[in-house]
Amino acid sequence: MFLWPSNSRNAKILKIFILTLFVSILSINCYNSPLSSTEKLENLKIEGFGTSYIGETSADIFVLCSSKTNGLMAFSELPLNGLAALLGSDNVRASIREGKEHLFMVNGLKPNTRYYYQVYCKELGEITSGNQSFVTRTNDFLDRINGRRAIWVVGGIGTTFEPIAAIDVFDPVGNVWYENVAQIPTPRAFSQTVYHKGSIFIIGGARKVGSSWVQSRVVERFDTQRNEWQRMADMPTDLQGGIGVSNGEEIFLISGSTTMDMTTGTILNTVYRFNPNVGSNGQWVQYTSNNAIFPRLDMGGCMMNGSLFFSGGRLYSDGNAFATTDVYLPAANTTTTLVEASNNQARHGVASVCYNPKSSDPFPNDSQSFLLAGGSTSSNFNQPVTAITPSSAYDYYRTGISSNVFQSGPALPAAIYYPSLEISYENRRAYLMGGANSINIPTDTIYSIDLANPIAGPWRTESIKMPRPRFAHKAIIINR
């Protein structure tokens, strides 16, 4: 079988050449046949054709001819008709040998897409050719794992003090885990992990080289529809322990450190903006905010209504934990003039999430809010930290009202450093996952709280555990 190259002048020339050769071969075969040319034309017909297999990205197309002859097949996303289809199609297959049965295997198709194809026994004609269409299968990866309603747990550090490559997915509605649905090509902790327009981006962070942790600028993109990885353009600099969010067509990063020693590498008022759609691997832009951004590491932060909320973290100069909060506006490249409320306990390595119900959600009238949970209150300027004082604090900040205050909610059942926090909008609950209850000892425990009354609680210890303990990871959902 033969596949023509596409979208070039040479491809069209090659098509004409092959078609000419194909017709010539047919003429020679007819000339040498025991039957006369006229008799063979009268007897030759297409006896059947169709698809014997249709997958997500491939299909097998067959054609049955009444006599031994050559076969030809063209396919396209546009309807095909006649000889012009062969010259206009970018995808044509020709059989090399004569036969009654011809099978054409087609690869590189798009999932859930209609394709038109035309088959031929020797030549065009009402009885020697036929055309039909098929639709490739839907990519059912997300359906198999209920990925659109699930919580994805990405990165972090495991029990061996190594970065975790496995991505685990938790379906809170079915109360079931789907383990190791994908492997991060470059496993990292303390990364800026962002869901953006169908893909999970793992940006920067820290990787393990031998016994040492090393900061990274690597950017890897996981297409949740296709279950595929792509290496994107590296960051302009290394960055770990910062905040990453999706806003419009772009991803924004603030805070964090360019080194593992935060006293030498914490960025001051720097903003990184990434557009994945520019070029084949995306484009980074680095600039300075018009107003000061906290020079801290391991803050809690999330995006809501075009505003990036961030709170807590530890100061680059001495590693002390802070409780103050601010808001960065990417559209204006500035922080707000309002003095935002501080949370109720200075800590770093805090889990955070924005609760942002939509009109299509089961509980669309719930209040928008910014949640913080866990962390460590002790000072430390290393990454990973060399000592922790885990916290059981939980703070709730309702946005869009004038009170501007963090309410102190019910304490967690255990004090936890660097867990993750995410929402199940179907269950109306926030889920706190993993973290470390002592230095470098991760847990696999899950706690949840009912968001119908997020201040009253209490937190519930879930009976199901994480597939593997981890801390310094990220939990995300892909339905926002």
Task: Identify the three-state secondary structure at position 237.
Answer: coil
Would you place residue 131 in the very low, low, confident or very high pLDDT band (cuts 50, 70, 90)?
Answer: confident
Whether residue 424 has pLDDT greater than 70: yes
Q: Kindly give, in sequence order, each residue whose CB lies less than 8 Å from that of residue 175, ignoring residues fewer than 6 positions away.
A: 462, 464
% of the chain surpassing 70 pLDDT: 88
Would you say residue 237 has pLDDT above 70? Answer: yes
- pLDDT (average), residues 26-36: 38
Q: Please tell me the predicted confidence (pLDDT) of residue 81.
A: 65
Give all strands (DSSP E) within 129-267, no chain letters: 129-135, 151-154, 166-171, 176-183, 192-196, 199-209, 212-223, 228-231, 243-247, 250-254
pLDDT at 129: 79
Token digits of residue 192: 């800026």
Burial of 97 (0-12, 13-18, 19+ CB in 10 A): exposed
6: confidence class by pLDDT, cuts 50, 70, 90 = very low
For the chain, list the domains and their CATH numbers. Answer: 9-135 (2.60.40.10), 141-476 (2.120.10.80)
Alpha helix positions (H), 367-478: none
Say what the pTM is.
0.75
Q: Which residue has the higher pLDDT, 267 or 454?
A: 454
pLDDT, tens digit (0-9, with 9 covering 90-100), for 341-364:
999 999 999 999 999 999 999 999
User: How confident is residue 87, by pLDDT bands cut at 50, 70 and 90?
Assistant: low
Q: Which residue has the tokens 């097949």?
A: 73
Residue labelled with tokens 């119900």: 357
In sequence order, the 6+-apart residues with CB closer than 8 A to the CB of 88 are: 76, 80
